[in-house]
Structures are given as structure tokens and as C-alpha cells.
Structure 1
């Protein structure tokens, strides 16, 4: 496989960093798009990419605002899931990609996937959202957990404590201690998120505009099929993901008839980023769906 790394200057003059990895074999190959969780870069998908190119796919990855080499808006509070989705639409136009065979997104990337599919009909053929909340705390009637985390990072002047807290919450200390190499890889790539990037993407997550529950049916109407995944150690999101599954399935049925269905699968050993700690189970679910 070969990887081309690039940067697109958006209309706002922000940079959007991306990578396209292609199979070594020639000919036409469909695209799989991978979208990352908060506080990580496109490098988080490195273990998954070779499996996808082996299946004959081009793989497109991008960094959200302030992550990796992507820039941030001048107004950090202006980032929403609509603006992130627009960034991806501009990237696809820039690369002359008319169709995305499958969008696989985790957490922040999953919420972006559903937003995109609802907003841009006929671009994404298959959808795999993983481990996402469905709305901001204010829309869920819950306490805002994002503002205190941003405030703490600002006060510290670095992302160190935020990264360690996130790693512990995602993977658990036992997994981190028993997988030191992968834990260190995660830690290093997460340090490529700036405080500004963390704040601006947290602004999207805590925005009053963030609620993908009413978008799920439109996303279902605009794709050909969908599969939802949740890590077995991310039990708090199973009910949320089931609600999204039902919404996407309702949209898909309105398009394809009552026989249409959408599955929600549990990734063995997986947490909030199940393609890392539940890698083999994750691929067991994804591979047949892609085929």
C-alpha cells in the first residue's frame, strides 16, 4: 500500500490535513472514509488501514480542527458538526471523490458521519457509526462535562492530564499496563491535538445545535445500508446507540421497504475506541459488511 498525505486550504483559510492510502494493485477502488474520535489524529487508524487496503479499498482519513495538522477557526466557539461535515464535503470535492463506499466513524467521527449522511444525500453508500453520544449535554439534560475539561487544560497550559484521563476512561488501567507499546502510540498521537483544537471540537460537542437523534432517519434514507458498533466495555452508550439504530433503520425502511434492517453489534473486549482494544472483533464485524 502507499499513502499520500496532503493539506487542503479551506475557504476560511484553515488547513484541513488528510491522508489517502491506496492498494498496491492498479485499477479502480472504492473509498472507505475513517473519522477519528476527539483528541486523536488520523494516525489512530493505522492498524485498520492495511486490513482495508487488503480488501481492495482506498482509505481516506482526515484530521478535525486543531487535531494533527488541521487548523482551527478564528472563533473557537464556531465549530459545529455541520461545519466539520462541510469540511469533509469540501475535501471530497477537492479529491474528486463522488461516492464514499463506507464511512466508519468513532465517537466524534461517528456523530460527524450521521450529520454528513443526513445533510448530503447519495454521497455515502454505507454507514458504520461507533460509540457516539447522540446530543450535547444541554440537549440530553445532563451536566456539561466538556467545559471543565477545557478549563483544566487551559489552566495546565498543556494536554497532558487530559490525555491521561482520556486514556484511562477509554481503555482502563489494566489494558494500558498490559499493552504498553500501543498505549504509548496512543499517547503520542493524542499529543498532536492542540488545546485550541480540543476546545473548538468540544464546542461542537456541547453546542445547542448538536442532536443527531432527529437526523438519524434522514441518514438512513440517504444510505444503502448501515451497521452500528459499540464496545462491550462502553456499556453506557448501548442504549444511545440502540436509539440511533432504530432511527437509521426507520429511514432505511422508508427507502427500501419493511424488510430493510440495521444491526447493532457489540465489539468484544472493546471500549470507547473499539478498533484498538477490540481490534479483531471489530474487523470481524466490519469485513463482511464491507463485502
Structure 2
């Protein structure tokens, strides 16, 4: 199965991996800025999000990304990953370190992380709402928890649309025997310069993850933003665009 995707611009490739609250449309504010600065911007939807259906059987998301990049002739790529997209970026960079020139991880998740009481409480509330058939309530919960105070109302509505679509696609595929194949990443294998971004208005898990990774990645820098929630690229897109453009040219060869 080929991941739904789009490509904009020309030059060194930059892959954008979305949060599991969103789909590839979350990067709408970043695509013009990155393409305008001379990058070939690739963004894709992971299974069950946006335009990519839930696959039947075993499916290796990281390998699917590798296959997509092969099809596009992108041997090496910088990766920008948000939350769950950051978790996938870490796995990809650990499995194929020679293919990754730079990593920008925005409030990244990490496989194997032990969730805090706050994150466990969120998961339980979301599950209860979905089991009760209250998709609207589950969507509103996600917007409340994951979108920071700097976001405009139109941004909240944008996240609401993406999250609702993901729930609808995934609920419709509840009987599909999807078995994600995942590999435990080894951060020590990652050779790319890495920027770790976290926010003061996010759950504490994601700052803890960044601090943990900053101590294990060979070339990393942790930037904590006092204004940011969990989705800074949507909350203050111009500021994050400037941050990415400053980071990528210095790291992307």
C-alpha cells in the first residue's frame, strides 16, 4: 500500500510526519515556507489518517516511508515529525541512519515511554467517550488537551476536522485485521543533527521525553518554548517556520 502523499517544490528533500491528532494537512502553514526556501517538501498520511486507509494485515510504517522515498528518488532526507510523527521519525532514523540528514522533533512521542498520570487520564477519557459513541466529545477533548493557548479559533477548527476524520476512518475499520509492525528504536544509532522542541503548555511527558533523548542522541539540541502547547507548528506557524528554516540549512547537506 502506498501512503497518500503530496510533493511541493524542488531541492533537498524534507519529509513532514504528522501528529496522530491530525493528518498531513497539519503542515499547511509549513509547506509554502519550506518549498519557497528551496526544499522539496514531502508529506504523507499514515494508516488511518487523511487519505491513507487502515491496511489489512501486518504493515511496517517505517518501511512504507522508505518505499515512498525510494519511489520519489529521495535517497536522503531531513525529517520534521510532530508527536506520533516524531516517534515514527525516530524509528526511521534509527533503522536507516544514513538516509537522514537532520531531525526536527516537535513535542515528540517515544516508543516505550511510561505515560504520566495526566496522559493516562486523557487516554481513559478518550476511550470512554469513543466507547459511548460520542465522537464529538472525543474530538473536543483532543482539541482541549493538545492545542495550546496561542492557537487561533480557525486553527482549533482545523484540528477538529482532522481528528474527526481520523476517528471516522479508524472506527469504520474496526474489523480490519491491522497489525502494525514496529521496531524498538536505538537513539544511539541516529547520526543526524537533531532539534528537540517542547512547550510549557503541553503534558509533562513530552518534555521528559525530550530531556531523555537529549542525553542519548549524539548531536541534539533541546529548545523549550514557554508559549507552546503540543502543536506549536499550528499555534505559531511563522515562528516555527523561522526555526525550521534556521535549523535545516545548517544541518541539511
TM-score after normalising by structure 2: 0.83
Which of 184, 193, 198 aligns to 1:230? It is 198
Change (3 A) 1:278 1:268: farther
* Equivalent position of 2:52 in the other structure: 70
* Equivalent position of 2:126 in the other structure: 149
Q: C-alpha distance in 1, partners of 2:114/2:234?
A: 28
Gaps spanning 5+ residues in structure 1: where? 1-9, 24-28, 250-260
Secondary structure at 1:133's aligned position in 2?
Answer: coil
**Do the aligned partners of 1:270 and 1:277 also contact (CA within 8 Å) in 2?**
yes
Question: How far 1:142 moved relative to its partner?
Answer: 5.9
Change (3 A) 1:167 1:18: same
**Do the aligned partners of 1:271 and 1:278 also contact (CA within 8 Å) in 2?**
no
- TM-superposition CA deviations, 1:104-155 (whole Å, max 9, x none): 000110000010000013111111112123234xx62767664763464244
Count residues with an aligned counterpart.
Answer: 241
Structural mapping, 1:187-202, within 5 Å = 187-195=160-168, 197=170
Q: C-alpha distance in 2, partners of 1:163/1:210?
A: 29
**Which stretches of structure 1, 4 residues or more, deviate above 4 A after TM superposition?**
141-148, 209-212
Of structures 1 and 2, the larger Rg is shown by 1
* Equivalent position of 2:147 in the other structure: 171
Change (3 A) 1:267 1:282: farther
- TM-superposition CA deviations, 1:54-76 (whole Å, max 9, x none): 2111110000101111011225x
TM-score after normalising by structure 1: 0.73
Secondary structure at 2:8's aligned position in 1?
Answer: strand
Q: C-alpha distance in 1, partners of 2:64/2:124?
A: 24
* Equivalent position of 2:230 in the other structure: 272
**Do the aligned partners of 1:40 and 1:193 also contact (CA within 8 Å) in 2?**
yes
Higher relative contact order (CA 8 A, sep 6+): 2
Question: How far 1:184 moved relative to its partner?
Answer: 1.6
Gaps spanning 5+ residues in structure 2: where? none
